[in-house]
Structure 1
Amino acid sequence: MDALSAWFAFAAGLVFLPVSVYSPRYMMRYEKHYSLPAFAAIYYALLASIGLTLVAHDVLSFMIAWELMSVVSYLIVNYEHLNDTNTHAGYLMLAASEIGALMIAVAMLLLAISADTSGFDQIRTGGHIGAATGWAVFLLSFFGFGVKAGLFPSMSWLPRAHPAATANASALLSGVILNLGIYGIVRVNGDLLPLTSPWPGVVVLLTGSVTAIIGILYATTENNLKRMLAHSSIENMGLITVGLGAAFIYSALGREAVAGIAYIAALYHLLNHSLYKSLLFLGAGAVDSAAGTRDMNLLGGLIHRMPWTAALFLVGALSIIAIPPFNGFPGEWLIVQSLLRSVELGNVEIRGAFAVAGALVALTAGLAVTAFVKAFGMTFLGLSRSQPASDAREVSRGMRAAMAFLAAGCLALGMIPTYVVGTLRHAATALRCPSGPQALVPPFFEPLTLPPDFVADFHSLGAQIGQGWLPGAGLVLMHRGGPENPIVFASAPSYLGVAMAGIGLLTFVLVRVATRHRRRLRRRAWDGGLNRLVAHLTYTATGFSNPVRVIFQAILAPVKPAQQEVVVAEHFRTAIKRTETESYALDSWIFLPLTLLAIRAAQLLARMHHGRLNTYVVYAIGALLAAMLLAYAR
């Protein structure tokens, strides 16, 4: 294990630990119909396969571990095998994984052939690949590993697989398995065969931004809590990929410090996503266990019956929409800052790609707020919109403890970003960008080389608070420029968190003091002539997201209407039956045409199967001659 794989192993461990605490009580709901020892065996096999994938250091062992991980992932998704929908989702996930694995295998073989060895160390130092082969390795590895990460255009399996899996398995899929797709992209294109041209980085940058916007659009309009979180995972994988694309571009253009910052931003956000998305999936599992449904239109009012789950889910929601002082803020802020550094580049086309990506990331961030205000508000606030939601009760202490561990991690990683950056210096060095962490964390606790007036201004803002008792260089993230522009951007989430807590406490005290003499309202205010507000008249999840659905209907096309006329009887009017089926835009845009093309090719090839033996002999002789000519040509 090296510094890069160690970071992914660390993220996996931070998820597996609380999920393991959460699982025993949660899985009791399945013991009447399914084998719990079988789930435990699959669970630990998944942990082992992930560890093997991260420590594999040659092509053969990596592909074996990767295939093992893919098969075990299918088994854990298909655990509820008595449900046909789950079985279909599991097969879809397995098929997508195998397509990606074939692409990865070809890319790895090209790398091994170029270095005349299969060891990663030898490939890293001895590979010599031409431009055409380099593009082939990049495209095959990026889109092959992108299948596992849920990147465009191979993302449609993910929102089908996550709802099929149990909540603890969904936390592992989103918080760990998706990360392995990012690991493969970075391992091949940032480590084994670093990109020397900026244009592959442009492909990564734009693919990530398109993935993010599509994922969050579907998340905003989705009413099933787990499907909504699955689409949000697509969005976050897109944001991480945007950071990687920026890092690839800057690295190819010789901007080592900014490339290091972009790598740090992507890997930091990956760790953050592992924590808060696992927390949200475990919260969704708690809601499903207590209320018996994941449909947000049937929930509501759970904050009164499940206050601990509501509070912990709120931490995850605030983290994922990048509200300081939670951990979503530093990662997304650094991704945006790395995009803004494109103003220093001279190529207009590349700067245009950064501008497009920046606009899509900004729109994604805004829609993320809408999506998770809906998720928390429609699930936990207001009135209960069904009897099971009214009867819900808080989950067990073990399940709450697991969610509390993840929530504490979300707060800690948001409050001490400089220590996270310091830990990432090893991974940045492995990716040939050692100056990134040094450029991002100025040593405010140590003698500075910056202009004295500039340092004095920062000291007056409190940049040296904690110098006597905190280790490290300080608590300020700041990218340093040249003498004329000593600061490019700066942020201190630690100080910001303390300031926000103080402002919140002060506001609470002032409101209590200002309203202490006011009497409570003794009579009910007028509310449309109703004696009491009934649940079915309150806002629903569908109503909340309807403006986004209407605006982006042409892009998303989430529902396909179909109208069928049926003659009821001879002297009666024709009955009109209208049905709506859910569709996925990418299925219509990409996979349906490919499927039709494959069917036509299969029908064409089927004509060859006519049963005439002499013709079959001609086929065999022709294939043999073609193989001999190819061997002679080489």
Structure 2
Amino acid sequence: MTAAPVAPLAASPQLLLALCAVALFLGLAVLGVVFARRPSGRVIVYGGALAVSGVAALSALTALATPAAGLVLPLGIPWIGAHLRLDPLSAFFLLVINGGAAAAALYGLGYGRHDHAPERVLPFFPAFLAGMNLVLLADDAYSFLLAWEFMSLASWALVVAHDKEAANVRAGLVYILMASFGTLALMLAFGLLAAGSDTGFAFDAMRAAHPGIAIGAVVLALALLGAGSKAGLVPLHVWLPLAHPAAPSHVSALMSGVMTKVAVYGFIRIVFDLAGAPQWWWGIPVLAAGGVAAVIGVLQALLQNDTKRALAYSTIENIGFIFVGLGLALAFRANGLDGAAALALTAALFHVLNHAAMKSLLFFGAGAVLTATGTRQMDLLGGLIHRMPVTSVVVLIGCAAISALPPLNGFASEWLIFQSILLSPELPAWGLKLMVPAVGALLALAAALAAACFVRFYGIVFLGHPRGAAAENAHEVDAFSRAAMIALAAVCVAAGLLPGFVIDALQPAVVALTGARMPAQGSVAWLSIIPVAESRSSYNGLLVFAFTALSALLAAFAIHRLASGAVRRAPPWDCGFPNADPVTQYSAGSFAQPIRRVFARSLFSARETVEMPPPGALTPARLTLSGRDPAWAFLFLPLTKAVGAVADRANRLQYLTIRQYLALVFGALVLLLLVLALWT
């Protein structure tokens, strides 16, 4: 089928500014190589990245409501060039990426002082930012995949920056293998989309080609594999809890809060924009993947004693929420329910923004704790609320937001996702009628477990008495790190109190993908949001905040003014232990024990082994916990062994004689000619 000609798009100032930002990031990468060992290197690279990403974020904000703009550069494939495009969808993700990058660069100005190998971090930090920005601007398959691989390689270099630790090297190996697998899946998806076009690998040609039902289904599967492996969907998530803790904390924030959103963008661009009209069942695999990821991710987070591993697994949960929103949007769009599709897609994009802010804030908090104490183990922390007052307040905001507590931003976006789930009875297909409520129940379970997870996280790390000398001697972190965390906490509060303005800003991207939009929210009285109709549901973040603040003030007034003014001191309840030693406090493992015994025994083969010494023995009693990730044990480990076995057998090929090599080449040529003859 010959594709219809597509009128070229004119470049816009925002697109040119975005390209300048990519060039400046690459220039900063070169400066990072030159000045890595000098004290000024950190200021040059992180300060420059802060300025460039800040301007790029503001430019992307102005581009949200402007028409799409395009540009072709004489680079890449000969006679085709590099196609670049800035539309409302890419502008929104540019805002998310560069906003998170600005916060990470500000944090790095202070956190980078403690990096003992700056030459392994400074050059690759801006290169990573350049790769992510270029993915969002690419408008042809070659440019997209080239930028995707550049982003993966730069982030891999940051993961293995501290290569003296064997665990970091292993994390880098698993990460680069999964990244290569994802790139291969995306390459096949673009190949299928380009097969129906006579004008090359440009996205405009793929849009005009209108792939068939079978091709579209295969493209959906490949996009789910390729983008899902980078985003961390189960069971493609095994790299994420290894790589994110291995990287420096500001890089962990970028990878978890920002890079996973580039993967979400890739999925949306391919499935919603390039793959043609969706079929009614396309939403089912996406919904299933999202629901499973949400529950598995938060359960794994509850079992971790390492602060950064717990946050990494929590990312899997939130990616699950996002993909459920995308699956709902596909289902509604395929069945002609454009208004419901607009609501679901808005909820997913809103959660993209919220998770970027919340998770970056929490990784910054974990980095601050690591800087102050030198450890990531929860059971060695405690009592930091008195030693790190600013960090404790902003991390508390982040924990409340990611637990979806009103009036913060996490609640607003998850509430919109549940509102779109409530519209599922309008779907005509029985498969979706049964699937969507089941996924809604999984999300409700994940939301409840997330609250327990972050009560545990905050309580063990910041409350109680110090459990070791590291926490006892902790101190507040530098002003740059505090400023970055305060800025992200302000975003969490502002997006929760005024969600209507965020929803309205997302509508140009939603209209471009679904053909419909949500009702305007900014003009609703009292700044409420009404996603469907006032008779169904509404939410007002400001009202919830005012009620909460007023109740707290009244309670404080009643306690301090109406109660007795006499000071009464008494020892706390000691649970039968007269010696209030810090080791008698709840630990991370003991807090999670009930949930571990209910869920983890069957899902993760979690086991508790008790070693009780005989009477009179001086050896201590021990409780050992063990478990495994089923995806790693039943999928990737057997696959690794199979690949190793095949490689061992293929290794014999290097010992063939010249006659055997010629015979092998002749046989391969005959086989290819036979395939070509049968194909034509």
TM class, shorter-length: 0.7 to 0.9
1:7 corresponds to 2:106: no
1:347-404 deviation digits (Å, cap 9, x = unpaired): 2211111022111101100100110000000000001000110000111122111100
1:145-165 deviation digits (Å, cap 9, x = unpaired): 111100121101000001101
Which of 319, 322, 326 does residue 408 from structure 2 map onto?
A: 326
1:495 corresponds to 2:495: no
Query: How much does 1:589 deviate?
Result: 2.3
Which of 515, 518, 532 does residue 437 from structure 1 map onto?
A: 518
Q: 1:610 to 1:250 in 2, by over 3 A?
A: same
- Name the structure 1 match of 2:211: 129
- Name the structure 1 match of 2:261: 179
1:426-485 deviation digits (Å, cap 9, x = unpaired): 111121333x322x63853xxxxxxxxxxxxxxxxxxx34xxxxxxxx4333312xxxxx
Q: 1:135 to 1:225 in 2, by over 3 A?
A: same
Q: Is the 8 A contact 1:442 1:477 kept in 2?
A: no
Which of 139, 148, 151 does residue 233 from structure 2 map onto?
A: 151
Indicate the percent of aligned positions where both proteins have the same amino acid: 37
Q: Please give the residue correspondences for 1:469-484 in structure 2 after superposition, counting only pairs within 5 Å.
A: 474-480=527-533
Q: Which amino acid aligns with 1:510?
A: A
What TM-score does the superposition give when structure 1 sets the normalisation length? 0.88
Which range moved further: 330-339 or 602-611? 602-611
Counterparts of 1:579 and 1:30 in 2: how far apart (Å)? 34
- Name the structure 2 match of 1:514: 562
Counterparts of 2:179 and 2:473 in 1: how far apart (Å)? 40
Counterparts of 1:532 and 1:520 in 2: how far apart (Å)? 24
Which of 361, 371, 374 does residue 279 from structure 1 map onto?
A: 361
Q: Which amino acid aligns with 2:195?
A: I
- Name the structure 2 match of 1:346: 428
Q: Is the 8 A contact 2:210 2:275 kept in 1?
A: no
- Name the structure 2 match of 1:620: 665
Counterparts of 1:17 and 1:598 in 2: how far apart (Å)? 41
Counterparts of 1:320 and 1:51 in 2: how far apart (Å)? 26
1:45-65 deviation digits (Å, cap 9, x = unpaired): 111111111111111111111
Q: Is the 8 A contact 2:329 2:342 kept in 1?
A: yes
- Name the structure 1 match of 2:617: none
Q: Which amino acid aligns with 2:108?
A: S
Q: Which amino acid aligns with 2:403?
A: I
1:375 corresponds to 2:457: yes
RMSD of aligned alpha carbons: 2.2
Counterparts of 1:21 and 1:158 in 2: how far apart (Å)? 24
- Name the structure 2 match of 1:399: 481
Q: Is the 8 A contact 2:211 2:276 kept in 1?
A: no
Counterparts of 2:252 and 2:471 in 1: how far apart (Å)? 22
Q: Please give the residue correspondences for 1:107-506 in structure 2 after superposition, counting only pairs within 5 Å.
A: 107-116=189-198, 117-124=200-207, 126-434=208-516, 436-438=517-519, 441=521, 443-444=523-524, 464-465=525-526, 474-480=527-533, 487-506=535-554
Q: Is the 8 A contact 2:528 2:538 kept in 1?
A: no
1:34-91 deviation digits (Å, cap 9, x = unpaired): 1x25522211111111111111111111111111101001011111122221121112
The gaps in structure 2 that reach 5 residues or longer are: 1-85, 611-621
Q: Which amino acid aligns with 1:488?
A: R
Q: Is the 8 A contact 2:381 2:461 kept in 1?
A: yes
- Name the structure 1 match of 2:122: 40
Counterparts of 2:232 and 2:383 in 1: how far apart (Å)? 33
1:29 corresponds to 2:29: no
- Name the structure 2 match of 1:452: none
Counterparts of 2:242 and 2:307 in 1: how far apart (Å)? 13
1:549 corresponds to 2:596: yes
What TM-score does the superposition give when structure 2 sets the normalisation length? 0.82
1:500-533 deviation digits (Å, cap 9, x = unpaired): 2222222221222232x24222443563565551
Q: 1:475 to 1:581 in 2, by over 3 A?
A: closer
Which of 96, 99, 104 does residue 19 from structure 1 map onto?
A: 104
1:272-315 deviation digits (Å, cap 9, x = unpaired): 00001000000000001001111111101000111111000000
Q: 1:226 to 1:598 in 2, by over 3 A?
A: same
3-state SS of paired residue (1:431):
helix
Counterparts of 1:90 and 1:559 in 2: how far apart (Å)? 26
Q: Is the 8 A contact 1:240 1:269 kept in 2?
A: yes
Counterparts of 1:255 and 1:14 in 2: how far apart (Å)? 33
Q: Is the 8 A contact 2:358 2:402 kept in 1?
A: yes
3-state SS of paired residue (1:401):
helix
3-state SS of paired residue (2:475):
coil
Q: 1:131 to 1:476 in 2, by over 3 A?
A: closer
- Name the structure 2 match of 1:568: none
Q: 1:529 to 1:597 in 2, by over 3 A?
A: closer
Q: Is the 8 A contact 1:247 1:259 kept in 2?
A: yes
